[in-house]
Amino acid sequence: MSVLFIVLPTALIIAALGVWACMASASRGQFDDLDTPPLRVLSEEAD
Amino acid sequence: MSTNSAAPPRISASVACTHCSLAVPAGLIEPDAEHQFCCTACATAYSLIHSCGLDAYYRLRAATETDKAPAKATGKRFSEFDDPTFTSLYTKPLAHLQGGYRTARLMLQNLHCAACVWLIEKLPSIVPGVIESRLDFRRGTVDLTWDPSLTHLSRIAQALDSLGYTPHPSKDGEAQSLRTIEDRRFMKKLAVAGACAGNVMLLAFALYAGAFDTMQSSYEQTFRWLSLVLGLVSLLGPGRLFFKNAWAAVRTRTPHLDLPITLALLSGGVFGTINVIRGHGEIYFDALTVLVFLLLVGRFFQARQQRWAVDSIELLFSLTPTSARRLKDSAATEVPIESLIRGDLVEVRAGDSIPADGVVVSGASKVDQSLLSGESRPVTVAEGDHVAAGAVNITSTLTLRVEATGEDTRVGRLMKTIADAASRKPPLVRFADRISGIFTWSMLGLSAFTFLLWLLRADLATALDHASALLIVTCPCALGLATPLVFTIAIGRAARHGVLIKGGDALQHLVNKDRRGTLFLDKTGTITHGRMSVVSYSGPEDLKPLIAAAERHSSHPIARALVAAFGDLPAPDPHEQFERLVVRQVTGGGLEVTAFELNREPLHLRIGSPAFVGGNAHGLDGLDPTLTPVLVSVNGEHAATIGLGDAIRADSPDSIRTLQSQGWDVQILSGDDPALVRSVGRALGLPDHACRGGLSPEDKLAIVRASTQETTTVMVGDGVNDAAALSAATVGIAVAGGAEASLAAADMYLQRPSLALLVDLTTAARRTIRTIHCCLCTSVFYNAIAGGLAVYGLINPIIAAFIMPVSSLTVLAVVYRRATFPVRATNSPTAPPPHPLDTTTPTATAARTADLIPV
């Protein structure tokens, strides 16, 4: 169980990476428009 | 050929336009063409779409669209889009790609469905040189990237225009970019809060497991310290929002919802930190971080909803022009609109938008004020007349003296009013604010009491534990989270059903809980259809298609009514057709029609007013005198009598009865003939004194104002003509006229002029308020139990972590589950909300029946 001392920090680092990726996407404006993508899905069905 | 044995005239059935599916006027049908179009705009749009192989657009549109309308191209050249000033103001070079590409954001009109999204994003295959085009449906903007060496922005704009989506430069402006930055920052806070909440809960589970057994100290401490770190990240990062608001509330001594929340977060944070450092004692970071996350999610939805209202107002502003031609010593120079000042002389050419509010100094022209007033009929202006920014000058050049610019123009002020109204707090939310103040003080008091109680019964540490547990667990989630959220959701749902609501307070007033409210209805367009329609017909059935075919050649309202009534009838015998119809319109009288049939004598018809048609006087026998008569004679003999009137909508009688049963005193206010109004009222079961006709807008204003003094007054009327009365009423509901202008005066705007929708609205208002009451009760119940448990010292982190999210989630579940709008079969719940700039949505035009009789 002492592996926990390695696993826990590693898991938290991975979580931090995830959060950083989320924040980077937000800065790049990927979350600016949440209404058009659902419409785009409908359109893609036509292709 | 005598009329008695007249063989039924044959004509072909109506043909549908390939582009917009509406009926093609008989005069434009080409018998040999594979595709028919109702207008050149549709033909152009189709040829462009077809030549690029994008016919899938039509399949997609059929699947997703509800309203049909012809393409509305303006045919402008858009050469100003290539102007260097324009380029520097509205386009940017694309920074990170080589190749000298430029990028620009344009605002588009007439977007209405998913197919539009698809088509516009296929722009690279329509206009060579366009690298990418990306549509933001809600804002109505397209982000274009193109290669300036291959094509010009004007060419792209022309293509968009021929497809039916007229482009305008997007006045993104400071406000928009600031809001975007703010939104992104909020997203990041959400991300951090969510990550912390999730991870702390995981750690907490480990600790719960250890609570029933024992856990090795090193592990336990690791978990506790990690919880502390993550908890502090959450509290000091995303959680700072609550602290800031609470501090502001304390400084200004106003109660605010964030006060009790801050109390919980602070006490939990402080005591948790102490306990972790001490090495033992309860910690509550799991409950706290989840609380922060859930509260932020609630606020996120709220902000998005409010953003919608503000965005649609800004779209209006984007439609005002970007440059103006200033006259100095008779020389006109193009200047940015921002540089205009009062007193400047500007020249507005035909086809240009008026850049600022002003007075006409020279010139006479017709002006389209539909942006502000919703009236698409052009208004004649001459020297001395005032014109408003945003109106379009149609016929000839005008010279104006500027009176107001930018924010001071009518358009600018309109925007501000609406934006202000959107941030008004409904009474229930203000009530919730006040309650939170009381709540905070009582919790502090209770906590002090608990502290003393346990100090006497046990020791300091226990007392601190229980006192802080009380502060953490008692959470006004229903107040802070649910109440504003319920209003937001109700407004969002209403928008999807065709009702635009400016603010939650209007919704609350619609409840009429004291059952004393007065509801004033406008007659024309609301209770009735607002346009002429065929009410009675006596004559041979076979004559109807012929009448329709002939009347298609005229655009008179009576002609349109006849076509609407008879135009869709199937031809009696599809094999026999008329070779041609010769139609002559006689102004003030009617139509003279000569119908040439195969192998038969030509038929001579006259369709029009009794004076024009002549013939025997019996034609008017038996016709209701309140209707407008139209007679038809075939070869000189009277053949049919048609009665036209403004028919009452089918859903009006039931709707009025329902409204009365909800306690409303329903009355009619109308500018139309009093006798007519009374007869409509009688048909609806309303007493004569409740039906007032012959009223001017000022009269209506006076009546509404008087009523507002006494009781809750709701006024339902035309957003354009009844603007004053609408803003004077407690709740003003506009049912026609331009959406933007209506929302300035009224609190709500019904996109479909239907009383049934109004009934849905009042029902929805009641459900909304009931939902909020339900949430408040849940909250009281929860806090009573939780507070009680805390005072008894029975709270520990496991229980806290359980009951706190349960209370938040219960409240959220209650809010979402109780549908606030009854779903009707006619509404398509998956359709995107009608776009604010969609000018294709049909609006009823008020018509005085008296004006339409051809004399």
Residue B415 pLDDT class (50, 70, 90 cuts): low
* DSSP per-residue string spanning B505-543: HHHHHTT-TTS--EEEEEIIIIIB-SS-EEEEEES-TTH
pLDDT confidence of residue B191:
93
Q: How far apart are CA B269 and CA B292, in angstroms?
A: 12
Q: Are B180 and B141 in contact (CB under 8 A)?
A: no
The model's pLDDT over B720-760, given as tens digits with 9 standing for 90+, comes to 667 777 878 888 888 865 555 566 677 888 877 778 888 88
For B579, list phi and psi in degrees, rounded to 5.
-65, -50
Q: Which of A40-44, B258-262, B567-571, B589-593 has the lowest mean pLDDT?
A: B567-571
Burial label for B224, CB within 10 Å (0-12, 13-18, 19+), is buried
The model's pLDDT over B789-799, given as tens digits with 9 standing for 90+, comes to 888 888 877 78
Q: How far, CA to CA in Å, does B468 sit from each of B196, B284, B461, B568?
A: 22, 10, 11, 75
Residue B74 has pLDDT above 70, yes or no: no
Burial label for B466, CB within 10 Å (0-12, 13-18, 19+), is buried
Give me the residues of chain A with pLDDT under 50, please: none
HSE, CB side, 13 Å, CA atoms: give it for residue B421: 24
The model's pLDDT over B366-394, given as tens digits with 9 standing for 90+, comes to 887 655 554 545 778 888 888 888 777 87
**Taking the mean position of all CA atoms in its chain, how far away is CA B118?**
22
> Which residue has better confidence, B421 or B350?
B350
Q: How far apart are CA B174 and CA B180, in angstroms?
A: 10
Q: How far, CA to CA in Å, does B498 sit from each of B276, B495, B752, B834?
A: 54, 5, 7, 7
Q: Which of B271-280, B356-365, B432-441 has the lowest mean pLDDT?
A: B432-441
**Nearest Cα residue to B771 out of B486, B496, B480:** B486
Say if B63 is an interface residue toward chain A (CB within 8 Å).
yes
Chain A residues in contact with B199 by the CB 8 A cut-off are 11-12, 15
Count of CB pairs separated by less than 8 Å, A with B: 80
Burial label for B348, CB within 10 Å (0-12, 13-18, 19+), is buried
A8 contacts B118? CB cut-off 8 A: no
Residue B449 has pLDDT above 60, yes or no: yes
> Which residue has better confidence, B556 or B838?
B556
Domain B499-529+649-751, architecture per CATH: 3-Layer(aba) Sandwich (3.40)
For B471, list phi and psi in degrees, rounded to 5.
-65, -35
Token couple for B190: 């959400």
As annotated, the residues of chain B forming the CATH 3.40.1110.10 domain(s) are 532-645
Q: Provide the pairing of β-strand B357-362 with B386-387.
A: antiparallel
Say if B138 is an interface residue toward chain A (CB within 8 Å).
yes
pLDDT confidence of residue A10:
94
Q: Of the candidates B136, B195, B226, which has its C-beta nearest A36's C-beta?
A: B136
Between CA B295 and CA B307, with CA B301 as vertex, the angle to 5 degrees is 130
Residue with tokens 């050649």: B553
The CATH code of domain B344-405 reads 2.70.150.10
Residue with tokens 């009951």: B803
Residue B841 has pLDDT above 60, yes or no: no
pLDDT confidence of residue B374:
46
| Chain B, nearest residue to A12 by Cα | B199
DSSP assignment letter at B605: E
The model's pLDDT over B682-715, given as tens digits with 9 standing for 90+, comes to 888 888 888 887 777 777 888 888 888 888 888 8
Strand order in the sheet with B731-736: B499-501, B748-750, B731-736, B713-718, B518-522, B665-669, B691-692
Q: Of the candidates A4, A11, A42, which has its C-beta nearest B219's C-beta?
A: A4
Mean of pLDDT over chain B: 76
Q: Are B743 and B754 in contact (CB under 8 A)?
A: no
Q: Average pLDDT of B537-554?
A: 80
Q: Average pLDDT of B469-495?
A: 75
A46 contacts B191? CB cut-off 8 A: no
> Which residue has better confidence, B681 or B838?
B681
In DSSP terms, B92 is beta-bridged to B103
Token couple for B781: 């119940």
pLDDT confidence of residue B105:
86
A27 contacts B117? CB cut-off 8 A: no
As annotated, the residues of chain B forming the CATH 3.40.50.1000 domain(s) are 499-529+649-751
Residue with tokens 């329902």: B658
User: Going by C-beta distance under 8 Å and a sequence separation of 6 or more, which residues neighbour residue B456?
Assistant: none
For B355, list phi and psi in degrees, rounded to 5.
-80, -20
HSE, CB side, 13 Å, CA atoms: give it for residue B295: 27
In DSSP terms, B217 is beta-bridged to none
The model's pLDDT over B191-215, given as tens digits with 9 standing for 90+, comes to 999 999 999 999 998 888 877 777 7
Q: Average pLDDT of B312-331?
A: 67
pLDDT confidence of residue B831:
36
**Nearest Cα residue to B436 out of B297, B265, B261:** B261
What element of type H or E holds B264?
A: helix B258-278
Token couple for A5: 């001392």
Token couple for B759: 């009934």
**Nearest Cα residue to B209 out of B800, B804, B793, B797:** B797
The model's pLDDT over B622-657, given as tens digits with 9 standing for 90+, comes to 676 667 778 888 887 888 888 877 777 888 888 888
Residue B311 pLDDT class (50, 70, 90 cuts): low
Q: Are B125 and A47 in contact (CB under 8 A)?
A: no
Q: How far apart are CA B246 and CA B511, in angstroms?
A: 32
Residue with tokens 């975007």: B180
> Which residue has better confidence, B801 or B453?
B453
What element of type H or E holds B787?
A: helix B755-791
**Which residue spans within B646-720 are E strands per DSSP?**
665-669, 691-692, 713-718
User: Going by C-beta distance under 8 Å and a sequence separation of 6 or more, which residues neighbour residue A18?
Assistant: B195
Sign of the Cα torsion B816, B819, B823, B827 reads: negative
| Chain B, nearest residue to A28 by Cα | B184
User: Going by C-beta distance under 8 Å and a sequence separation of 6 or more, which residues neighbour residue B845?
Assistant: B525, B530, B531, B736
| Chain B, nearest residue to A17 by Cα | B195
> Which residue has better confidence, B43 or B479?
B43
Q: Average pLDDT of B235-255?
A: 88
What element of type H or E holds B275?
A: helix B258-278
Q: Where are the alpha helices (DSSP H) in B213-257?
A: 217-236, 240-252
pLDDT confidence of residue B739:
56
Q: Average pLDDT of B844-854?
A: 23
For B55, list phi and psi in degrees, rounded to 5.
-65, -15
> Which residue has better confidence, B412 or B691?
B691
Q: How far apart are CA B462 and CA B473, in angstroms?
A: 16
Residue from B137, B176, B180, B216 whose CB has the most chain A CBs within 10 Å, to mutate: B137
Q: Which of B92-96, B296-300, B421-425, B572-576 has the lowest mean pLDDT?
A: B572-576
Q: How far apart are CA B604 and CA B598, in angstroms?
A: 15
Q: Are B92 and B63 in contact (CB under 8 A)?
A: no
Residue with tokens 């025997």: B616
Residue B851 pLDDT class (50, 70, 90 cuts): very low
Say if B220 is an interface residue toward chain A (CB within 8 Å).
no
Distance from CA of B120 to the nearest CA of A (A): 11
B59 contacts A18? CB cut-off 8 A: no
Q: How far, CA to CA in Å, does B60 sit from each of A43, B342, B378, B841?
A: 7, 50, 35, 19
Q: How far apart are CA B389 and CA B119, in angstroms?
A: 32
Q: Of the candidates B113, B137, B188, which has its C-beta nearest A35's C-beta?
A: B137
Percentage, residues of chain B above pLDDT 70? 78
The CATH code of domain B532-645 reads 3.40.1110.10
Q: Which of A20-24, B295-299, B699-703, B818-822 has the lowest mean pLDDT?
A: B818-822
Using left for φ > 0, alpha for ψ between -120 and 50, and beta otherwise, residue B525 falls in left
Q: What is the ipTM of this complex?
A: 0.91
Q: Are B840 and B112 in contact (CB under 8 A)?
A: yes
Residue B589 has pLDDT above 90, yes or no: no
Residue from A25, A35, A41, A47 whose CB has the most chain B CBs within 10 Å, to mutate: A35
3-state secondary structure B447-513: HHHHHHHHHHHCCHHHHHHHHHHHHHHCCCHHHHHHHHHHHHHHHHHHHHCCEEECCHHHHHHCCCC
Percentage, residues of chain B above pLDDT 90? 5
* DSSP per-residue string spanning B724-762: HHHHHSSEEEEEES-HHHHHHH-SEEESS--HHHHHHHH
> Which residue has better confidence, B13 or B216?
B216
Chain A residues 23-42 within an 8 A CB cutoff of chain B = 23, 26-27, 29, 31-36, 39-40, 42
**Nearest Cα residue to B714 out of B662, B672, B678, B769:** B662
3-state DSSP assignment of residue B497: coil
Residue B571 has pLDDT above 60, yes or no: no
* Maximum Cα interatomic distance, chain B, rounded to a whole number of Å: 115
Q: Provide the pairing of β-strand B331-336 with B323-328.
A: antiparallel
Q: Are B646 and B531 in contact (CB under 8 A)?
A: yes
pLDDT confidence of residue A22:
93
pLDDT confidence of residue A11:
92
Token couple for B22: 């509406």
Q: Are B644 and B626 in contact (CB under 8 A)?
A: no
Residue with tokens 């009448």: B547
In DSSP terms, B401 is beta-bridged to B345, B359
Q: Average pLDDT of B818-827?
A: 51
Q: Helix, strand, coil % (nearest 5) of chain A?
A: 70, 0, 30
pLDDT confidence of residue B795:
80
Between CA B318 and CA B330, with CA B324 as vertex, the angle to 5 degrees is 170
How many residues belong to chain B? 855
